[in-house]
Every structure is written in structure tokens, then in C-alpha cells.
Amino acid sequence: MNRLGILFAGQGAQHPGMGVGWTAVDPVAAKTLSEASRILGYDLADLLSSIDGRLDETIYAQPAIVVSSLLAYQSLLRSTHLRPDAFAGFSLGEWTALGAAGIFDFEHLLQFVQVRAQAMQAAAKATPGAMAAVVGLSDLQVCDVCAEATRVGSYVIAANFNCPGQIVVSGHADAVVRAGDLARAAGAKRVVPLSVSGAFHTALMQPAADRLATAIAGAEPFPAAAPVYANVTAQPYGKDELRRLLPLQITSPVLFETTIRNMMASGITHFLEIGPGSALSGFVRKISLDLPVARLDGPEDLANVKGWLKAHGFSE
């Protein structure tokens, strides 16, 4: 029996115009975008269409990605009556997954995401860091490289385990440079610096994690429509784990490859990536060539996705 997992994009996938197209084909999407602007306190439609660089700032990128991804997901639901079997997201995308699963209502979701974005940008400004993707080494090799590159007061860790042969390292900028040099010497095919302002998913983000923990302390989550997998554990959220794991996610590695493998082990047979970009689809294909995967970004993708869902038995 086919079972569908929904994946949501993380920060870095944003692009000008994302999400805006849904308002032209779905009247409900236009109302949702207007509501998001009210909650966030600025014109989100203007931001999504902007080419002035604001979309690359963490404080704007995170809410924008979550809203544009939910616009796509909700429009798909209204046209297919889809019932996913599981949700997951990459870093920020985990918040979109929580919203899609109904664990947080839209207003509280955006309020929490805005706090997260502001706190992470502030932490990055207070303690600048760097990140880089290492391609062509094993997980163990990258962890060894990070250990060798770490000095007193200057450390780097493996922060994103994306797929076989692609791990992102994160930490103090000089340590990330040392790790890159050591990775090349160990045989890495490429070391690609990422355009980020901070050492995300490391202890340098602890002030942001603390602020988020305070913000969500009184949160009252709703039951999930389907299991949501946590980046920190690569397992579905258990009862009462949200308030502990969501702040921890900011300072902990993203176990994306293990998440996908655990979803497969639970019976998920197909994956649909929703939101800007196609990075997660690429990771899934590298984890397992046999996994059917599709992606939905804008309304121009909708017909193909609906056909794909119907062909695999997920919609009438």
C-alpha cells in the first residue's frame, strides 16, 4: 500500500516571487497572505515579490518561506482532498510541517516563527559564524575533520546530515575554514561555503534557543493530523516533546537522512516536497534512487503534481 510523506523546505531555498502565484489562482490564498501580513506586522506580499535582498535576511526569510509553503500546501489540499501519512521539514521547514499537521494554528505558528527568526538573526549578529557544505566524504570522516579543526574558543561541528556524501559543517568562521581545508585534504570533492550569517544548528545559537523556549512555554499544541518527524531525533514527535525539542533544534544537527530512512521504515513509499527550491527532492533521490518523489513550488507545478498523486493512488 502506498503511503505519502510531505517534506517542507528550509531557509536558503527562498526566491523572489515565491508563493505569490497562488493568490492569482486561489482566492483563499489571497486572504491567507493578508492575514499573515497582519500577524507579522508588514506587507508580506510586497516582501515575497521584492528583489532588494530582504528575502535573504533571516528575520524575513523564515516567515516568508513558511507562509509561501503553506499557501502551496493548502491550495493542493483544496483541489485534491489529500490526506498525507507523515510530515517532515528541513530545519525551518519543520515549523511548516507543524502548521500543516494542525499542531499550531496559523496565528500562533507565525508568531513563534517570527520570534525564532528574530532571535536567530540577533544571535548571529552577536556571535558571527559560518557554514559550508562538504561533498564526497562519509559522516565519520566529516566528524573527524571537525574534531581536528576545533580549537579552544573556536569550534566547528557537522550540523546538517543531508544525504550520503553531503554534510554541512557549522561553527566559528575560522574553524569552518580549517575544516574545509582538512576536508579537501581528506578527499572531499567540493567544499561550498553557504551564504548564511550565523553558525546555525550549533551552540552559538543558544541565546536564540532560550528566547524561543520562553516564547513557546505556554503553547497549547493541537493533536497532529499525521506524525511529524523531529529534526533532532529523526523520530515522530511524542506527547509533550514540542516545548523541549523545538528550542533544541536550533542548536542541534539536522538528521535529515536518518529522518527519511525512518519514514521509509515506517511504511512511507512516496515523498512530495512542498515550498521553494528542490534541494530536499535531490537529497531523497540520493538516499534512495527507488523512492518516487515530486515537488510543488508554484501553481505552475500543480497539474503535474495532481497527475502524479492520482497515478500513485493518493487522490481520485
Asked about 201 being catalytic, the answer comes back as yes
Strand 190-193 to strand 270-274: parallel, antiparallel, or no bridges (unpaired)?
unpaired
CB 74 within 8 A of CB 29: yes
Contacts 24+ apart (CB under 8 A), 292-297: 294/270, 296/72, 296/73, 296/76, 296/272, 297/18, 297/72
- For residue 254, the cross-strand partners are 160
- CA atoms of 39 and 33, how far apart (whole Å): 10
Strand 130-135 to strand 86-89: parallel, antiparallel, or no bridges (unpaired)?
unpaired
Task: Give the distance from CA 69 to its chain's centroid.
Answer: 10
Asked about 91 being catalytic, the answer comes back as yes
The DSSP string of 142-177 is: HHHHHHHH-BTTB-EEEEEEEETTEEEEEE-HHHHH
- Which of 69, 91, 170, 281 is catalytic? The answer is 91
- CA atoms of 80 and 306, how far apart (whole Å): 7
Q: In Å, what is the CA distance from 300 to each residue of 26, 72, 84? A: 13, 11, 21
- CA atoms of 313 and 316, how far apart (whole Å): 7
For cell 523541549, the residue is: 244
CB 273 within 8 A of CB 9: yes
Q: What cell numbers appear for 242 in the block?
A: 514540542
- Which of 68, 201, 270, 281 is catalytic? The answer is 201
Residues known to be catalytic:
91, 201
